[in-house]
Each structure stands twice: as C-alpha cells, then as structure tokens.
Amino acid sequence: MTTGDLTGTGASSGGRTSRTAPKLEKLLSSSAGLMAQRGFSQTSIRDVANETGFSLGGMYYYFKSKEDLLYLIQEKTFSSLLEIQEAAASHDGTAEERLRKLIGNHLAYFLSHANELKVCTFELESLQDERYDRIAVLRRRYFSCMAHAVAEVLGESPNHPGVRHKTLFIFGMLNWIFMWFDPERDEPVDRLGDEMVDLVLNGLNGGKDG
Amino acid sequence: MTTGDLTGTGASSGGRTSRTAPKLEKLLSSSAGLMAQRGFSQTSIRDVANETGFSLGGMYYYFKSKEDLLYLIQEKTFSSLLEIQEAAASHDGTAEERLRKLIGNHLAYFLSHANELKVCTFELESLQDERYDRIAVLRRRYFSCMAHAVAEVLGESPNHPGVRHKTLFIFGMLNWIFMWFDPERDEPVDRLGDEMVDLVLNGLNGGKDG
C-alpha cells in the first residue's frame, strides 16, 4: 500500500475515476446505507454485493477490503463536507453569521447524506492505523473550523480553554440528531438550525420572547 | 412472563433480592462494562461468565437471557438516575437553579456510572416488546423532567413547540460526552457542568466575559 493511494486501487484519484465515478458513488451510497442501519461490524462484503448487484470481483476493482470501503465512505463524505464548511468559514459577514452558516450547512448535509454522515460519526474507531490517522486529520480540520467560529463569536483565541468545550457542546447538539430526528415532525431543517443557533448564541434566557 | 417480573427470576423485587443484591450489583456492573466496550451484539453470556467468574447456571438465577440482562442494567440505571433527578426537579429555588442541578447531576452520574449510562444511551434498540416499552416509559419520564425545567426557565408550557427541540439539544450536549470526555483533560465535572449550563442559559453572547 502506498501513502498516496490507501485503497490500492486508484479509485479515489486519477483518470480512472472519471469513467467509474457514478458506479463508485452508487457503491458507496448503498454501503453507507447498510452500515448506518446495521453497524460496520454487522455488515459483510457479501451483504454489500447483494444490495448493489455488484459481483465480489467487480467490487474488488474499487476496494480491497471492508475497511477500505469504510475508509472511502468517510474520506469522500468528510472531504465534501469540509469543502462546503471551509468556504462558509471564509465568507464575509459577522462571526455570528458564519457560525449560523456552519450549523445550517451541517444540518442540511445531514438531511441529504444521513447514512454517510452517520457512518462518519459513529465508525471512526472501526478504522485502523493509516486509515484512522487520515480520517482523524479531516475530523480535526472540521472541529477546528467550528472552533474558530465559536472563538470569533466569543472574541477569544481558538486556543482559549473554554472554546474546546463549547465547540464540543455544539457538535453534541448536531450529532445527537441521529437519535431523534423525524422528518415529519422536525422539518424544515432551516427552522431547526435557527433554533439551535439561537440557543448557542443567546441561550434560553435570550429566547424567552421567541 | 408476568408483567410484574420481566426477568422471570424475582431478582429485581421481593425479599430474595436483599440477600443477593451485592452479587447482582457485581454482575450488572461487570456486564455493563463489557457491553459498553464491545456493544450488546458483540457481548455473549459466556463473555459475562468469564468476566465475572459466575457459572452459566449461577447467572440463570438472576436472568434468563442476554436481553434480560440488558433490561436489568437499564431498569436499574434509569430508576436510580430518575430518583435523583425527580428529587432535584422538585427542589425549592429558581428555575435556573433546578436546571443547573439537573445538568450537574447527569454529568456526575455519568462520571460514577459511565458504563451503565452508555448502555442505557446506546442500547435501547437492542430491547424488544415489553422490555423496550418499559424502558421507553422511564426514558420519557427522564425527558419530561428535563423538558419541564427548560419550559420553566423559558416561562412556557412544557408542550410549547420550542421546548422539545431545546431539550433535545441539551440531551445532545450531555450524551455526546461519551465520545470525547477525557478525565485528565476535562475534569472537574462541576466546572464542565457550569460551562454547559452557562451556554444553555446565556449562550456564547452571554459568555463573552466568562
């Protein structure tokens, strides 16, 4: 395995991808669905083959093991979410507006990619060694993006001791949503995002009139 | 199975318990440790026997199946946490003080019973039918306890639409702690509780001087 190509297949870089991207998309999205429902440990490569209609040999073109597959899902999901969020973090406007955008984007991404995000959120520990390290780097970048926005609202340095906990509290609110969100009851997500940002910015005391 | 004794063993009620309580405590606590680490589906009754030194026959006195065991852990944990929290909710003082107490108590309970609380938090879905329904009742009581405190701070009815989401956001902050808490870095839990309550009551904008 080279450091430049963790799957050993070239599936995630180079010209080969452009021709095979739609198939890979389908494979990752179906696999994320299975893993989100059953958990990584309870999902077999054979389950993925049954679900997608791929042969075992056909899947081998894209990944060499179940852990490769999990890595590909997490790498793709975090990279695309980070791209959206790092753009939002560099937008003009006030610090509050940037924080509002980060929280709103996360919730919108949750709605459109619930399975992939659930796998990212709950299955980091199922990766090992270099794959773990690479995803941990992306997670730290994501944490840092949110922590900078929190620090900016507070008028503090991102290294201020209070910033870490406050950022973790926000990720708690965001990630716990997997446990209770019901589209029928809790949509639209814009309103939910506004409610969360209002609590984060002004607390219950600031929301007494709302 | 009677509705009064879900385990079918009498272990959770009656005089038999008083003589066997310390052994049952040890059994539940060790089992919760295994399930918290590996997950319910990855923990076998044989693992529990190996960990605790009980024979399979000896454990059968207390519970009849792995699901019985999981039910006993959750029932005992939620009942004792609810007792603490329903007492706190009925204390004199301001609404803010009661909310502060509820959040502080939850975090203190997390520190002293991390495994049991983790099993309660992540393994409700591993219970079925009547066991599921009984634990769901305890969870709803716990949710309601927190929602009443939130509503009281807001000066709203507990049925006000905004109360549910705000309460879920608070449970998100509280429950996500399993994912990041590091005693070396994040103690003392009193301070952590104060930071959380300050965010919940006054938001980042209210914490700018803190």
pLDDT digit string, tens, across residues B147-167:
999 999 999 999 998 999 999
Instruction: Say whether A205 and B153 touch across the interface (CB within 8 A).
Output: yes
A126 CB contacts (<8 Å, ≥6 apart)?
A40, A41, A67, A70
Q: Per the domain annotation, does B103 fall within a domain?
A: yes
A62: number of Cβ within 10 Å:
21
pLDDT tens across B108-137, in order?
999 999 999 999 999 999 999 999 999 999
Mutating which of B106, B163, B189, B204 best tests the A interface, going by the most A Cβ atoms within 10 A?
B204
> How far B57 CA lies from chain A's nearest CA (Å)?
29
Residue among A203, A199, A137, A148 at smallest CA distance from A174: A199
CA–CA distance, A183 with A6 (Å, rounded to integer): 36
Among the residues of B53-94, which ranges form H helices? Answer: 56-60, 66-89
CA distance B117 to B176: 12
pLDDT of residue B22: 84
The CATH number that applies at residue A160 is 1.10.357.10
Residue B209 confidence (pLDDT): 52
Q: Is B204 in contact with A200 (Cβ distance < 8 A)?
A: yes
Does residue A29 lie within any of the structural domains? no
pLDDT at position A20, please? 65
Cβ-Cβ contacts under 8 Å for B136 (sequence gap 6 or more): B124
ipTM: 0.88
Instruction: Match 């075992």 to its residue by tokens.
Output: A56
Do A48 and A54 contact (CB within 8 A), yes or no? yes
What are the residues of chain B with a beta carbon less than 8 Å away from any beta carbon of chain A? 39, 41-42, 99, 150, 153-155, 162, 165-166, 168-169, 171-177, 179-180, 186, 192, 195-196, 198-208, 210
Main-chain phi, psi angles of A24, to 5 degrees? -65, -45
> Token pair for residue A104?
């709103």
Q: Decide if pLDDT at B207 tops 90.
A: no
Q: What is the mean pLDDT of residues B56-73?
A: 93
Distance from CA of B155 to the nearest CA of A (A): 7
Q: Is A117 contained in some domain?
A: yes
**Nearest by CB to B201, which of A150, A162, A204?**
A204
Least confident of A195-199, B166-170, B186-190, B195-199: B186-190
Query: Which pLDDT tens digit goes with each residue over A64-116?
Result: 999 999 999 999 999 999 999 999 999 999 999 999 999 999 999 999 999 99
* Token code pair at residue A43: 């999902």
Residue A131 is predicted with a pLDDT of 97
Residue B126 lies in a domain: yes
Distance CA A111, CA A106 (A): 9
> Which pLDDT does position A13 carry in this prediction?
42
Give the C-alpha separation, A209 to B189, whole Å: 32
Nearest CA in chain B to A99: B204
Are the Cβ atoms of B173 and A172 closer than 8 angstroms? yes
A173 closest CA partner among B131, B31, B203: B203
Among A70, A91, A63, which residue's Cα sits nearest to residue A148?
A: A91
Taking CB atoms and an 8 Å cutoff, what residues of chain B touch A203?
198-203, 205-206
Backbone φ, ψ for residue B113 (5° rounding): -135, 50
Residue B39 gets the label, from left (phi > 0), alpha (psi -120 to 50) or beta, of left
A118-132, B8-22, B90-104: lowest mean pLDDT where?
B8-22
Cα–Cα distance for residue pair A116/B63, rounded to 1 Å: 38
Q: Is the residue at A177 inside a domain?
A: yes
Encoding tokens for residue A190?
Answer: 């814009």
Residue A46 lies in a domain: no
Structure tokens of A37? Answer: 């429902």
Whether residue B201 and residue A201 make contact (CB cut-off 8 A), yes or no, is: no
Judge whether A59 lies within some domain.
Answer: no
Number of domains forming the structure of chain A: 1
Q: Which regions of chain A are under pLDDT 50?
A: 1-16, 210
Show the domain range for B167: 66-204
Around Cβ B123, how many Cβ atoms within 10 Å? 19
Per the DSSP assignment, residues forming a β-bridge with B2 are B5
Q: Which residues of B touch A155 (CB under 8 A)?
A: 208
Residue A173 lies in a domain: yes
**Average pLDDT in the B51-60 region?**
91
Q: Would you state the pLDDT for residue A97?
A: 96
Q: Which of A100, A182, A185, A204 would you mutate first to test chain B, the one with the most B CBs within 10 A?
A: A204
- When the pLDDT of each residue in chain B is averaged and rounded to a whole number, the result is 89
